[in-house]
Structure 1
């Protein structure tokens, strides 16, 4: 059976096929497309119809590959949603989490229910764009007309099958799920004037959603597709696709965002995790992703976009290597870096305000990003070890950022951990593994991770003593002194 992962991120999407061949997972990208939010009258929207069209275009290629039947799983980013009316139609465009409507929402929410109460109920970190904050700011008239609030991958599945569900790994990121009751928290829903009945029933990863309604798309020649509810939050799929072994390993899903954490059997909800803004997102098979959400390579993407010269990521790495290390210590989790008008100007303003050397060249700016991200990873690992009470022996870096050998080595050096990088396509691979498990082609998550280890190149980075640990302490001092009240953490 052919399996297809529709893996959609904030900047691009792809359809990746997977099939077990000669004891290895053979994957092939068959369709790639762009994604991004658009400013319409001062509001940032996703073009969700574009994403649906591209999924269908990719599926239309399957028949030409010689396959009449397949399964399909859809994963996307978290927190964003579609409002669907009683007629089954979307009531408005899907607003992006980078929209500024929620800039002050955490403070507004805290006036209704104390933050500590929300965290103890949900175990989810506070981010201004969490679904609870978005719904707090949502248009009241639209909410009154809403029959279903569907997370982005659930909405795409609904458009393909006509069946609506709320897949749990993505649902947990809403900060509306009671971690003990494993369902929606009624007090939190009441606080934002939303009813439980406005959400579809919860679905576990691995359950079948239904067949693709080919009759709805008569203009396309489509295969017979069974849509499967995989772990639809892309990070959840990425962790499934991470080839970790044993217990004392951590992961870093590196891309637009950096998600650094551990896979646990139970949540960690205490004063330390609350103050550190750590989250307990739900994973497949009853696991929890205890992690820190760190501003990732979005920073470098925006620096690259704002540079006067046209430099590739690879060229930026080369330029950064020629710059003296640790010239700036920048708290990139400050909300000011979430979606500034000009990232370069914002970085320079931060350095000016904190009396640090101002990066000006492409190399200096890239170095500031790389060195500070590596420090932030090392700090997060220290915090994880303290909160979980276990010594982390190895860090697995997966996703697009795992290709950055310079940042991988910096992370190993500053954290003192052995770093393993790869696979790059961990999210699509994790998506495919859930389909393989659901289809009884492999019998467990452990077997799936072993299959990943045997199928893809994994690189190893040993820590060296070439960088002084004093850099981490200096970073902590500057962050503590200058930490903004508007910080993401």
Structure 2
């Protein structure tokens, strides 16, 4: 029985998960869990990247203490954020968090130089003000010029473990700087930023072996012998790999966490005018695929409500309170920029409801119900868009990630979209990370076989749609609310 460890780090937490195949079943064991989050300093938002590296070491020490002496290891994190390195491999600055306000207005500045239509035709990546293209445009140009290498967050963590520099393709595609035709960094966009191709390492595909963890690290910290395998380092790319195989059915997916990523796996990009108008993205997936998807604000909304409420209620308790609150009483346009990083999420939700003439949610259950109802309606709208753009009618919506645990939201989603929702597995991101390691190790033949293994190894919950008597009135209110925002 071989040991494989997924380092899976999201915007709010991280974990090291051990994966093994026993009796034809993929088993997961959590080795270590830790918190993550950005901090504000001098008006800017930064990640504590050293904390993340330290937690990886702690997790590996725990693995060794449990008797794991050899393993493979893959890393995935969130996208778009980057690290600047000098010639000696040291960081030039702290790592900006994508919610930092420095990119406000930058899309408009870039659009005055190169049209958004041209950028989308080149890259197929949706316009988001925190894309790496706009972050780098806002970055101090002198500091960028001093950077010997520019890598993404998981690339940097691999570098700290191995000494090898890479730019893993699934995460690099989110930079909005890779050309779909050449499958390389676009020269015109590099010139726009005053950057050179040699400031980036070679694009690396999931499944490549980087070699062993540094001998110095292994000896200094008493770590297992780890063979480093390049995972699909963008967490959404790994989560999509962790979506179970649905034989004979056409499935869309939602990777539900801090963000909700709704989309479909395509073999060719779809970067036409209609896709751009709907702001869908073509992020690169593993094994020659594309993640054609829409970013939706997601569970960030409820995470912030819980935090500001002092953590008095667990997420499960908030869902229970929401189930007891009046349905569709108050709705918010989840994807409005006002909810990206407000000073106070609760105040922002209440203000949005008051401004649109709706009852203002007060109690935690009312706030949670407002969020879940609004998310379910967002999922309906975007699934309809996805079907129109791809020309595909989807039989089922597969929800993976932390949101798969939210029975209320899953049922509301099934009710809104009028078709079956399949929820699970929760740990799809770690599972997708492990899938690449299993394929590389030869324990499964390919991603098809890996997905079949996933489907037989983890519980999947089915939610069948129920009738909603006030559906037409709710949909009209929803349309009017979004139309009022232009």
* TM-score above 0.5, yes or no: yes
| Deviation for aligned residue 1:216 | 4.0
Aligned residues: 483
Q: d(CA) in 2 for partners of 1:306 and 1:63?
A: 38
| Deviation for aligned residue 1:475 | 1.0
Aligned positions of 1:293-442 closer than 5 A: 293-307=295-309, 310-442=312-444
Say which SS state the counterpart of residue 482 (structure 1) adopts: coil
C-alpha distance 480-244 of structure 1, shift in aligned 2 (>3 A): farther
The residue aligned with 2:28 is: 27
Q: d(CA) in 2 for partners of 1:248 and 1:473?
A: 29
Q: d(CA) in 1 for partners of 2:475 and 2:158?
A: 44
Is the CA contact (8 Å cut-off) linking 1:260 and 1:380 kept in structure 2? yes
The residue aligned with 1:473 is: 476
Q: d(CA) in 2 for partners of 1:300 and 1:41?
A: 27
C-alpha distance 102-67 of structure 1, shift in aligned 2 (>3 A): same
Aligned positions of 1:47-62 closer than 5 A: 47-62=48-63
User: Which shows bigger deviation, 281-290 or 62-71?
Assistant: 62-71
User: Which shows bigger deviation, 356-365 or 23-32?
Assistant: 356-365
Q: d(CA) in 2 for partners of 1:146 and 1:409?
A: 49
Is the CA contact (8 Å cut-off) linking 1:244 and 1:396 kept in structure 2? no
The residue aligned with 1:446 is: 448
Q: d(CA) in 1 for partners of 2:208 and 2:218?
A: 24
The residue aligned with 2:123 is: 122
1:236-291 deviation line (CA, Å, top 9, x unaligned): 00010110324610110001000000001111111221111100111011001100
| Deviation for aligned residue 1:430 | 0.5
Is the CA contact (8 Å cut-off) linking 1:31 and 1:58 kept in structure 2? yes
| Deviation for aligned residue 1:309 | 7.7
CA RMSD of aligned residues (A): 1.3
C-alpha distance 308-30 of structure 1, shift in aligned 2 (>3 A): closer
Q: d(CA) in 1 for partners of 2:424 and 2:340?
A: 27
Q: d(CA) in 1 for partners of 2:18 and 2:469?
A: 42
1:241 equivalenced with 2:237 (yes/no):
no
Give the TM-score of the pair, scaled to structure 1: 0.97
Q: d(CA) in 2 for partners of 1:467 and 1:121?
A: 45
Is the CA contact (8 Å cut-off) linking 1:189 and 1:196 kept in structure 2? yes
Long gaps (5+) in structure 2: none
Long gaps (5+) in structure 1: 484-489
1:160-203 deviation line (CA, Å, top 9, x unaligned): 11100111000110000111111111111111222211111000
User: Which shows bigger deviation, 58-67 or 9-18?
Assistant: 58-67
Say which SS state the counterpart of residue 109 (structure 2) adopts: helix
Q: d(CA) in 2 for partners of 1:64 and 1:37?
A: 30
Give the TM-score of the pair, scaled to structure 2: 0.97
Q: d(CA) in 1 for partners of 2:69 and 2:241?
A: 28
User: Which shows bigger deviation, 250-259 or 355-364?
Assistant: 355-364
| Deviation for aligned residue 1:40 | 1.5
Q: d(CA) in 2 for partners of 1:261 and 1:308?
A: 34
